[in-house]
Amino acid sequence: MFRYLNKKCKIYNSLNFLKDYKLYFSSTES
């Protein structure tokens, strides 16, 4: 169970990172 949660957490963190990266990228472009 814990391992499954950990996996979900990693996926969630990477998604958040991608979102932040896109936001940063779009803000620097304009």
In this prediction, residues 5-29 reach a mean pLDDT of 88
Report which residue type is found at 3: R
pLDDT band at 16 (very low <50, low <70, confident <90, very high): very high
Does the pTM of the predicted model rise above 0.75? Answer: no
CA-CA-CA-CA torsion sign (19, 20, 21, 22): positive
Report which residue type is found at 25: F
In this prediction, residues 2-21 reach a mean pLDDT of 88
